[in-house]
Amino acid sequence: MELLPEQLPAHLAIIMDGNGRWAQARNLPREAGHKAGAEAVRAVVTECRKIGIRHLTLYTFSSENWNRPKTEISALFALLLDFLRQELPRLEEQGIALKVLGDLDGLPLAQRTALRHAIKRTAPGSHMTLNLALNYGSRAELVRAVRSFLREGAQPEDVTEESLAHRLYTAGQPDPDLLIRTSGEQRLSNYLLYQCAYSELYFTPTPWPDFDAAQLRLALEAYAARSRRFGKTQEQIDAH
């Protein structure tokens, strides 16, 4: 099935789940699963850039992930540094702008510094935006937006869907058209709750390290086959 540009999501969001279970199934340490997951990130970013998806958001580290074992957290952040060092030239070359959704100030110094450097270096990229949701929680994001209103002395009539969206980390970007979650879980896990109000949801049992270009194609074909009505009837959609 050949997908036309208008059949692709303008914004694809992914919950990359299953690294640990992938490793455990192979009698490997969880860190090996995260390393394999980093390779899957490279493959999916490359494929999305190739086929023309303009915005890609990856749930990289949630605010709840701080509850994981310290050794696993250290391994995750070490992988993040490796990813940034290795991929920065490629991101620049391919015109991919890197952004972070989440509390950047709450990350360790080395990662915080590397991320800010990468964000600055890739800012001119106009072909694709790669959002890494790091130290991110959607409820905290909404609280942050409400506090912004209060600090500005906003009046009730100043609070609209548009003005709220402008205060989210994704300001200036379209809402995700499609949300993919790997490894069989079927929940949002505090991820882009406001932005995904009308997103199509796609759940696959495939663990993230095994999610490759072929798996992405299956998800995109399923998305292309759906009818997005946004409250209208199918007859209204067909009439236009």
Residue 210 C-beta-side C-alpha neighbours within 13 Å: 14
Which residues are tagged catalytic? Answer: 17, 65
CA terminus-to-terminus distance, the chain:
24
- Token representation of residue 166: 């402008």
- Torsion angle of the four alpha carbons 160, 164, 59, 78, in this order, in degrees rounded to the nearest 10: 180
Q: What is the percent of the chain with per-residue pLDDT over 70, rounded to a whole number? A: 94
Report pTM.
0.93
Q: What is the pLDDT of residues 15-36, one digit of tens each?
A: 999 999 999 999 999 999 999 9
| Res. 43 pLDDT band, cuts 50 70 90 | very high
The structure tokens 């009439």 sit at 239
Furthest-apart CA pair in the chain: how many Å? 57
